[in-house]
Amino acid sequence: MCGRAYALFTEADLATRYLQGRPTTLGELTPTANLAPTQRTPVVREVDGVRELTRLRWGLVPSWAKELKIGASMINARAETVAEKPSFRAAFRQRRCIVPLSGFIEFQRDGTRKRPFAIARADRAILSVAGLWERWVDPAGGEVETFAVITTEANRFMAPIHDRMPVILEPGDEDTWLRADTESAALHALLAPCAEGRLTAHEISPLINSPRNDAPELLAPVGDARA
């Protein structure tokens, strides 16, 4: 499960990385060291063949859901079942997105303790995490757009920390993931653990457990780093 992340980039960083420098409508971004479910964060999606950046709420709410709160339990979609599970299959076919992250946070079980680790690309580039998005209409007619992160089994690097990890796309695979006409087999081929040597990790403060805490100091190493 991936239930925490951090996003320390600017609007200009995202425009350069995903839109070839085209302007966005995001406005100024507030860096967060403790991104949690139900919060809004930028995602990249393709609309009528054109990439756009927009902010969506973390926790996918299917179009048929009766209440918004169901999204809090659907922050992740498992790669192994995403194409069949009723909550995610329509979005997998038609509404795929990329969730840009500076890194994600995973918790290692150590007896009764859970030790948090911050995981990022070794080259410190923005992580492109595979996601799905949905549009939900509330009873009053208002629209809410939400997303989920797709997870897969851990690679050898991640396995000592947790048995799951987000699906991390390489830059050359991003268009394949976003294009509406990509065949199912090509999509499934991307739902794999990232290559070894791509990530680094270090233990961080347990204060990250509370979404009320959000300061850069939360991401400072408190133990040995892994690479």
pLDDT at 206: 94
The mean pLDDT of 189-200, rounded to a whole number, is 96
**pLDDT 10s digits, 48-63:** 999 999 999 999 999 9
In this predicted structure, the answer to whether residue 148 has a pLDDT above a threshold of 80 is yes
CA 110/CA 204 separation, integer angstroms: 14
Residue 212's alpha-carbon distances to 20, 104, 106, 207, in angstroms, are: 35, 17, 18, 9
Q: Tokens 């006409």, residue? A: 181
Does pLDDT of 33 surpass 80? yes
> Residue 73: CB partners within 8 Å, gap ≥ 6?
59
227 has a pLDDT exceeding 60: no
Nearest-CA neighbor of 107 among 226, 206, 33, 220? Answer: 206
Structure confidence at residue 83 (pLDDT): 96
Is pLDDT of 21 > 90? Answer: no
Per-residue model confidence (pLDDT) at position 111: 84
Q: Which residues are catalytic?
A: 2, 106
Q: Would the pLDDT of 92 be above 90?
A: yes
Which tokens is 119 given? 């995981």
Determine the average pLDDT of the residues in 117-128.
97
What CATH number corresponds to the domain at position 104?
3.90.1680.10
Model pLDDT, residue 29: 92
Give the pLDDT of residue 95: 97
Whose tokens are 């680790």? That residue is 117
Is residue 115 predicted with pLDDT exceeding 70? yes
CA-CA distance, 125 to 177, in Å (whole number)? 19
Specify the number of domains making up the chain: 1
pLDDT-based confidence at residue 140 (cuts at 50, 70, 90): confident
Q: 163: domain range?
A: 4-226
| Average of per-residue pLDDT across 192-207 | 96
What is the average per-residue pLDDT within 167-185?
A: 96
69-73, 91-95, 152-156, 183-187: which range is least confident on average? 69-73
Q: How confident is the model at residue 87 (pLDDT cuts 50, 70, 90)?
A: very high
- pLDDT band at 226; cut points 50, 70, 90: low
Write out the two tokens for 161: 């920390």
pTM across the whole model = 0.95
- Residue 71, pLDDT above cutoff 60: yes
